[in-house]
Every structure is written in structure tokens, then in C-alpha cells.
């Protein structure tokens, strides 16, 4: 099933939509990595974004299906590390909006369910994007069953990214300039001291 899913920051200043979202054209994963956990600490929303083991739910989509209609002036980006993704959020109320590569061009956007009004483990999220396919960035060696799941999740994602590229060409929506593929807003990068303070709280 495909549906248009409204996107909103928690206070309602940033609004948009994800077009045609469904299980077949998204990749639902859970991630326990330092970056995702530090990001939740940075936003001050660990309770909303992380489960008790420090995992975030993320669904990856074609960025050309994600539109922001209102409140672009409140959108900001942060990089936890100099080489990591840009994590876009609504600065008005610290709501995560989507994670991208540092520049446009590659069709890949990771969305935390909170901007669709749901916590990661809500059944509504499974209804939108299907069950979790696998753990991304596992912290510990995984048993064979989990490794097989990860393999098939990666195959699914690669197939989707190829389709998205064929369909949409060079990706720039919604956070990059169409011509230069540079970020519309310059993201801040955490200092080493800031990052280490967040990493000290990481659940491993
Ligand atoms: Zn807001
Ligand atoms: Zn992560």
C-alpha cells in the first residue's frame, strides 16, 4: 500500500509530505551507532528517538518524494563528525527531519519516524514502511541469521537506490541546491569536545 504521509515538526512550524510511501519503496532499519545516539542527545530528544538499548528506527526513502511546504527557514543541519551524514532537523522544536549524504546527487534520505508523528516502534510505522528489515551498523558481531537479514536488507536498499536514480536523476530535494547540489543551509559540525560529551552517554 502506498500513501502520502504528512510530515511535521513537533511544534508545527515545519510542514511537508512524503509522497507515495510504502514498504516496497522504503527500507526500514534500526541503528545503534554512536552518530545516531549522539544526534538524539544533541537534539535533547533521546526519550523520543532512542529505545532503551539506544537504537533509532530509520526508514530510507527516495528524497524526491519528500517535500517541505512550510517553515524551511527553521530547517538546520548538523554533522556529528566531519565525514558523517548531514542530519537535518527543525530548529524550532528540535525535530529530526532526515539524514542525507554531505552533498546532493545520491538518491538517499533516512527519515526518523518522529517527523511523521510516531515513535520508532509504533505499529503505525510498520503499517507505513513495513517491518524492520535488519540492524544497520551493529555494534557487536551478529549471529548468522541476523547477518543474512542484513545482507538482504542491503540488496533491497541497493536495488531501491538504483531505481530512485533511474527515476529521479541527480537527487537534490529537499535540502540541496538544484544546480550546485550543495546544502541549502550550511550545517554545523560538532567540535571534538561536544562530540565526546555526547559519546560518553552512548549505550553500547
Ligand atoms: Zn518545530
Ligand atoms: Zn546510526
Rounded distance from Cα 11 to ligand 2 centre (Å): 25
Rounded distance from Cα 9 to ligand 2 centre (Å): 21
Average pLDDT, the chain: 95
pTM across the whole model: 0.96
- Confidence at residue 145, expressed as pLDDT on a 0 to 100 scale: 95
Using the predicted structure, report yes or no on whether residue 80 has a pLDDT greater than 90: yes
Domains defined for the chain, CATH in brackets:
3-187 (2.170.150.70)
Write out the three cell numbers for 179: 544546480
Q: What residues does the ion ligand 2 have nearby, CB within 5 Å?
A: 31, 33, 36
Rounded distance from Cα 168 to ligand 2 centre (Å): 26
Using the predicted structure, report yes or no on whether residue 29 has a pLDDT greater than 90: yes
For residue 179, with 0-12 CB atoms within 10 Å meaning exposed, 13-18 middle and 19 or more buried, which class applies?
exposed
Query: According to DSSP H, which parts of 29-143 are helical?
Result: 34-43, 46-49, 123-129
Rounded distance from Cα 84 to ligand 1 centre (Å): 24
Rounded distance from Cα 4 to ligand 2 centre (Å): 26
Residues linked to residue 176 through DSSP beta bridges, in sequence order: 183
- The per-residue pLDDT for range 57-72, each reduced to its tens digit, is 999 999 999 999 999 9
Nearest ligand, measured from the Cα of 58? 2
- The mean per-residue pLDDT over the stretch 185-195 comes to 96
Using the predicted structure, report yes or no on whether residue 1 has a pLDDT greater than 90: no
For residue 58, report the phi and psi dihedrals to the nearest 5 degrees. -140, 135
Question: How many angstroms separate the Cα of 22 from the Cα of each of 118, 124, 155, 164?
Answer: 16, 12, 18, 14
Nearest ligand, measured from the Cα of 37? 2
Rounded distance from Cα 104 to ligand 2 centre (Å): 20
Nearest ligand, measured from the Cα of 29? 2
- Confidence at residue 64, expressed as pLDDT on a 0 to 100 scale: 94
- The mean per-residue pLDDT over the stretch 124-153 comes to 94
- The per-residue pLDDT for range 93-119, each reduced to its tens digit, is 999 999 999 999 999 999 999 999 998
- Confidence at residue 148, expressed as pLDDT on a 0 to 100 scale: 96
- Confidence at residue 97, expressed as pLDDT on a 0 to 100 scale: 98
Amino acid at each position: 500500500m502506498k500513501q502520502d504521509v504528512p510530515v511535521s515538526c513537533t511544534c508545527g512550524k515545519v510542514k511537508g509530505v512524503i509522497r507515495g510511501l510504502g514498504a516496497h519503496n522504503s527500507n526500514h532499519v534500526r541503528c545503534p551507532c554512536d552518530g545516531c545516539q549522539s544526534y538524539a542527545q544533541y537534539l535533547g530528544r533521546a526519550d523520543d528517538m532512542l529505545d532503551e538499548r539506544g537504537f533509532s528506527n530509520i526508514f530510507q526513502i527516495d528524497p524526491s518524494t519528500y517535500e517541505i511546504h512550510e517553515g524551511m527557514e527553521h530547517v538546520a543541519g548538523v554533522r556529528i563528525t566531519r565525514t558523517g551524514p548531514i542530519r537535518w532537523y527543525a530548529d524550532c522544536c528540535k525535530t529530526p527531519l532526515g539524514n542525507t549524504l554531505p552533498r546532493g546527487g545520491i538518491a538517499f534520505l533516512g527519515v526518523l519516524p518522529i517527523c511523521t508523528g510516531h515513535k520508532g516502534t509504533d505499529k503505525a510505522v510498520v503499517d507505513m514502511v513495513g517491518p524492520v528489515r535488519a540492524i544497520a551498523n551493529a555494534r557487536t558481531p551478529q549471529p548468522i541469521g541476523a547477518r543474512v537479514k542484513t545482507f538482504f536488507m542491503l540488496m533491497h536498499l541497493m536495488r531501491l537506490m538504483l531505481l530512485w536514480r533511474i527515476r529521479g536523476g541527480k537527487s537534490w530535494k529537499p535540502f540541496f541546491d538544484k544546480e550546485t547540489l550543495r546544502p541549502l543551509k550550511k550545517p554545523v559540525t560538532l567540535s571534538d569536545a561536544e562530540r565526546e560529551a555526547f559519546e560518553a552517554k552512548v549505550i553500547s
